[in-house]
Structure 1
Amino acid sequence: MSKRVVEIVVISDVHLGTYGCQARELLRYLKSIKPKMIILNGDIIDIWQFSKRYWPETHMKVVRKLMKFVVEGVPVYYLTGNHDEMLRKFAGMNMGSFHLENKLVLELDGKKVWFFHGDIFDVTMQHSKWLAKLGAIGYDSLILLNSSVNWFLKLMGKEKMSFSKKIKAKFKDAVKFINSFEQTAAEVAVEEGYQYVVCGHIHQPEMKQVKTDGGQVVYLNSGDWVENMTALEYQDGAWSIFRYEQHDFGQDEQEEGLLSDSEDLRSKLDIGLLLQKMKVG
């Protein structure tokens, strides 16, 4: 199967190491594209909830696939988020084509684009981190329960449902928080002279123009790989939101080699070559 060439791919909020992470689907997506640059916009590995007791092979294969891109010379920017905030002290580290940063600014077609996770705009994160962590555990538990219910619904021939989406839709405060987040990000971006601002954090894929008192900016959010299974793609001077759909990929995990040894990424990843290329710049 031919791979789609994409200039820039932005992925955020994968939450590897949690029950809600859709690692199989993400791996299928990564195997279907040929990116020229990858931006991992925070919360890729969920260090908050990381447990040695839960780290499936599919989660490790996502890491290996990303490492394989690095070995091939594809620029991979890992921007830190709140769930992987312990990596922030290593910001500025460069190893070959891998770069660890807290934020990133690119000029694309003459326009400045500002990438960062976005948790700095979350009041809960700034003042009640313990409450945010408790909420993260509750969210992961809800996703786990939701997965069990969806398994049963699929068995009954019925459509899947999302508990968290229904909860967000019913609570005005959740909608208000999302709108406030987007407006704040846009206002700061305009003040700093950016034409685009790209965030993650709120698990809400979006692409829209936002007007502020100081001007206007295009706000983008890559969504997540827990519920929405979305990414941002930049190609031919335009941004778009990629939404994973099962029917677009067809084959199951065994046929694709995602869970078998027939196409195990370990056999393709030369660790010696990795260490050779990932020299501190």
Structure 2
Amino acid sequence: MKKSLISGMFLAVILIAGSLLLAYPFISDGWNRLHQTHAVMSYTDTVDQMEEEAYKHMLEAAYDYNRKLAERGVDWNMDQKEMGEYYTQLNIDPSGVMGYVHIPKIHVMLPVYHGVDETILQTAAGHLEATSLPVGSGSFPAENASFPDEGGYGSHCVISGHRGLPSAKLFTDLDRLTEGDRFSLTVLQETLTYEVDQIRVVEPTDLSDLQIVPGEDYCTLITCTPYGVNTHRLLVRGHRIAGSMDDTAGESWMLRFWPDLIIAMAAVLGLLFLLIVLMIVTRKKKPH
């Protein structure tokens, strides 16, 4: 009886460990999505409470920052003073969130933070410091833009995200995007829509495709590739277009979260079922 009990307990431990291992990516990603949702909602609430004058001043300062950046050119080796100026831009609270990126095709909506520190990229997207702020050139309103940018100086912001993490999907499916797909950036209350027009794989040190092009308003999404190897960088560039995305832009966070939640719940229920069966079998083997 003792041997049977020990065998049953050992099998139970194996089943629990295996089930938790299988469920971990779904549970962890779901947990991270909840945190991402909270960060986005907290950001929008804070923006909604801003005074009109403060809002206008912050947006104009961001436009001015982009104009000066375009005039002097991108400097990938920012000094301490430049970094200090950068971190004051679009800084509405201590969280460091400057907006959020939405990619309907791959069901991604992530808060975008200042900088690309590893601590940020583990759970969210980051804005590459040396590039244009994600507000465009400011020569036209976000909702009724006319293109190309008649202001002439252009802008090119770069948003970075990890892929292949066991704890969060983030930009894992970025390689599914094709030319013509759309994504958007929302900063303050301004939503800018971009249409993918170029997809490239480059060496990590090749920054030529991230330069500002006069008269163009670009945003590039960047992640590591190939999947799990990460020796190169996948660059998905979009040019800004007038109007907004289709109805999928408004799909709810819960609709994106439900599939993973269902899988995680199914794994837990399956584990409980196996444990119950194991307990019944073990009891039947006990002598009366």
The alignment's TM-score, normalised by the length of structure 2, stands at 0.25
For the pair shown, which has the larger CA radius of gyration, 1 or 2?
Answer: 2
